[in-house]
Amino acid sequence: MRNFRTITSILLLGMLVVIALPNAKAADTANRLTEMTFSVPVEIAGIVLAPGSYEFRYLDHINVPNVVLVFNSKNDLVATLMANPVYRVNTTDHSEMTFEDRGPSAPKAIKDWYYPNDNYGVEFVYPRTSSARMARGK
């Protein structure tokens, strides 16, 4: 029963995201729009992003905290990710992501993301299989 509720919640959230997404690309501090370009593949919460440009932004909805949307350069939604809040003492004047090494044959994984001048950011949630693999260094 609990799995059914979880799956239903995820599907409803996905439908909400598709319906409610604005087409504008204007920078907005409410959704923390951040553009990133990767020259190599990177992993984020179990999804591998090919080299290229991506936009990261918060789902701008008060009742759904810590949900991050990832769009490709064509403005296609490529991921809707749950994240945990994370705190840092020192801020920077630019967006910052930290990465974890997953071994020589795996892409580096995005661990967390901070918006400029914010102490609070998000730490991405990885599937348990990825977490176990990360702990073993594979």
* pLDDT band per the 50, 70, 90 thresholds, residue 111: very high
Indicate whether 12 belongs to any domain. no
Indicate whether 85 belongs to any domain. yes
Q: Over the stretch 48-63, which tens digit does the pLDDT of each residue have?
A: 999 999 999 988 666 6
Indicate whether 100 belongs to any domain. yes
Indicate whether 30 belongs to any domain. yes
State pTM to two decimals.
0.69
What pLDDT score was predicted for residue 16?
36
Indicate whether 18 belongs to any domain. no
Indicate whether 67 belongs to any domain. yes
Based on the structure, what is the number of domains in the chain? 1
Distance separating alpha carbons of residues 120 and 136, to the nearest angstrom: 29
Indicate whether 10 belongs to any domain. no
Q: What is the DSSP string of 15-76?
A: HHHHHH--------TTTT-EEEEESS-EEETTEEEPSEEEEEEE---TTSTTEEEEEETT--
* Residue-range definition of the domain harbouring residue 65: 24-136
Burial tier of 36 (Cβ tally within 10 Å: 0-12, 13-18, 19+): middle
Query: Percent of the chain, pLDDT > 70?
Result: 68
